[in-house]
Amino acid sequence: MREYMKTSKTFSIHFWLNTAKKKNGMAPVYARITVNGKRAEISLKRYQSVSSWDSKTKRPRPRTPNAPALNAYLDQVYSELLACHKQLLSEFKLITSQAIKARYLGEDEQEKTLMELVDYHNTTMKTVLKSGTLKNYYTTERYLKRFLKAKIKSTDKYLKQLSYSFIIDFEQYLRKGPSINKGQPLNNNGVMKHLERLKKLMNLALQLEWIEKDPFVRFKLKFTKHQRDYLSESELQIFEQGELKAEYHKNTRDVFVFSCYTGLSYTDVKSLTDNNIVRGIDGYYWIFTQREKTEQPIKIPLLDKALDIIKKYDNNAHGNAKLLPVFSNQKTNIYLKEITAIFEINKNITFHSARHTFATTVTLSNGVPIETVSKLLGHSKLSTTQVYARVIEEKVSVDMKSLRKILSYNINKSVGKTIANVNLH
């Protein structure tokens, strides 16, 4: 208590009129903070008549028309400055008049802003995140800047001001506001992805101790689960054997079918070279590579149909040359839509559908255990594989037929034993 009193003696707050800036008999009201004889002054953005200011009480005279409102405001400022002083004491910070002023104005080192957090994240994560992931964070940043400008007419906001309502308002802006890509307005999952990135930024702020409370505490991300299309066994055969005239359609079909029999993503297929094809311990050819997305090493035994496609383009691949003729992701998906239309396959097939086809039609439907499929897909968690592992009705039917036979055999065997026992007696 004595120590606090000793410190408080050096600390004072009072209000004064800056008559040097007087205009038309009115002067701005200032707060003066004094600590150990050193001052810091804050303009309160209020004006008062010089003639109605009491220099002794350092307040407007009681009978002045605006005195009650101004006095109430000055009382509030006084309380907030006292609170700033108390905060700095509790944080064991150096107490100076400038430190109290900075804390009051939200300009001290404790008060980081949203854009400072975004800049810190994007700078420090350049060597950690993939370029595609960083690109998505840049897009989220653009949406945040648009939202701040539209919502609060500002370019930034202090992290301590972020609340649950800020998250809700940002969500509504994403849903109803203009899309950055006008040709592709945000759907629900697009909105959730931006909010998910903002949530990760808030987690980073918590770890850095830039905020004390996560504004996402009561907010739940709600993704819509979509059943992505894949090719059935018969559709895959049509895709493999169907007649195509354009060379770019043929190349796209080959690369897609190759992925259907290897489970590799677009990026991983595109990066393959002849050096990735090696002889495995079983004497067969394998793909030894690393997933671009997760950096997980993967080893995939080459099925005959995938190997045939490699051999088809073998003359083009030497050393570091690309193994297959892969177009850009955008062109590839455009050509795939054209191919599915030619083959009259009424499904929304993209290159990613090849991974689903590999997981569902090529492997799981043919009895390959999900643990093996997970390893082939380069997943670190089995739960990730279950997104792809949609067991088709035909496989369920076959499995149930086998179960019926086993149950029927066991029942008949049991009945036979019972009859034999009865006959013995």
Collapsing DSSP to helix, strand or coil, 298 comes out as: strand
Residue 375: band (very low, low, confident or very high) from pLDDT cuts 50, 70, 90: confident
Residue 117 above 90 pLDDT? yes
pLDDT mean over 4-25: 80
pLDDT of residue 9: 58
Mention every residue, 6+ apart, whose C-beta is less than 8 A from residue 6. none
Residue 5: band (very low, low, confident or very high) from pLDDT cuts 50, 70, 90: very low
- Cα of first residue to Cα of last residue in the chain, in angstroms, is 99
Residue 371: band (very low, low, confident or very high) from pLDDT cuts 50, 70, 90: confident
Surface-to-core class of residue 46, CB atoms within 10 Å of its CB (0-12 exposed, 13-18 middle, 19+ buried): middle
Residue 2 above 50 pLDDT? no
Residue 416: band (very low, low, confident or very high) from pLDDT cuts 50, 70, 90: low
For 53-91, the pLDDT digits (tens) are: 999 999 999 888 899 999 999 999 999 999 999 988 887
pLDDT mean over 91-115: 84
DSSP 326-384: ---HHHHHHHHHHHHHHTT--S---TTHHHHHIIIIIIGGGT--HHHHHHHHT-SSHHH
Residue 225 above 80 pLDDT? no
pLDDT of residue 146: 93
Residue 317 above 70 pLDDT? no
Q: Give 160-189 as a 3 state SS string.
A: HHCCHHHHHHHHHHHHHCCCCCCCCCCCHH
**pTM as predicted:** 0.56
Judge contact between 68 and 59, C-beta under 8 A: no
pLDDT of residue 3: 37
pLDDT-wise least confident of 66-70, 264-268, 324-328, 368-372: 368-372
Collapsing DSSP to helix, strand or coil, 412 comes out as: helix
Q: How many percent of the chain have pLDDT more than 90?
A: 51
Token pair, residue 124, equals 């420090």
Q: How many percent of the chain have pLDDT more than 70?
A: 87
For 169-186, the pLDDT digits (tens) are: 999 999 988 888 766 678
